[in-house]
Structure 1
Amino acid sequence: MTNIYLVCNAGMSTSILVKKMQEAAAKKNLADVHIEAFSVEVLDERIDTADCVLLGPQIRHMLGDVKKVVGGKCPVDVIDMRDYGMIRGDKVLDKALKMIEAA
């Protein structure tokens, strides 16, 4: 199972994007990809199962702190503001998969 985690302030604003990413994964027959959104406050409890962590653009200022929490266990980056705003689940999924592949 590949776990892609989206984190934001409360985990709410990314939930729509998660649905679009899940739809994109289904179209690509990626049944082993799990995508979930939650608050940045619980990331430290979930990091051991993460394969990729993507931050909502509204908390991009926390990238350095999140990387410290992750401690190099998986790739971390910020979701492109345009892809986030346009809810382009396919683009965000592709970015996450490329990050995992490159790690």
Structure 2
Amino acid sequence: MAGKTIMLACSAGMSTSMLVSKMKQTAESEGKDYKIFAIATSSVDHSLEAEHPDVLLLGPQVAYMQNEIKKKTDRAGIPLAVISMKDYGMMDGKSVLHFAETLIK
């Protein structure tokens, strides 16, 4: 799975930045060349079009937006899921990275 793009979205794009760092460390240690980044949910429309990620993960604090965002990701053929509260709370980059990989076709 070389060259995959994993996009995370949360309310301001800030709280997921530490998780992104941990995911990048895991990907690097596993020899995977992934682009992993976080955005604010207000930037989802633009980022879906500009980046066309292979998967979009939502922070648990914005899970209530899943149905609204799913309409957009379905049109673009991009898998969408909410990061588990446990993995997010523990900032478990490895688990979140591997969860993202299971969603990528």
Alignment of 1:15-34 (within 5 A): 15-31=17-33, 33-34=34-35
RMSD: 1.0
The list of structure 1 runs, each at least 4 consecutive aligned residues, that deviate by more than 6 angstroms after superposition, is none
- The match for 2:39 is 38
> Runs of 5+ in structure 1 lacking a partner?
none
Separation of aligned partners in 1, 2:95 and 2:76: 24
Separation of aligned partners in 1, 2:79 and 2:97: 14
TM-score (norm 1): 0.93
> Runs of 5+ in structure 2 lacking a partner?
none
- The match for 1:96 is 100
Alignment of 1:48-67 (within 5 A): 48=49, 49-67=52-70
How many residue pairs get aligned? The number is 100
Separation of aligned partners in 2, 1:35 and 1:72: 19
% of aligned pairs identical? 39
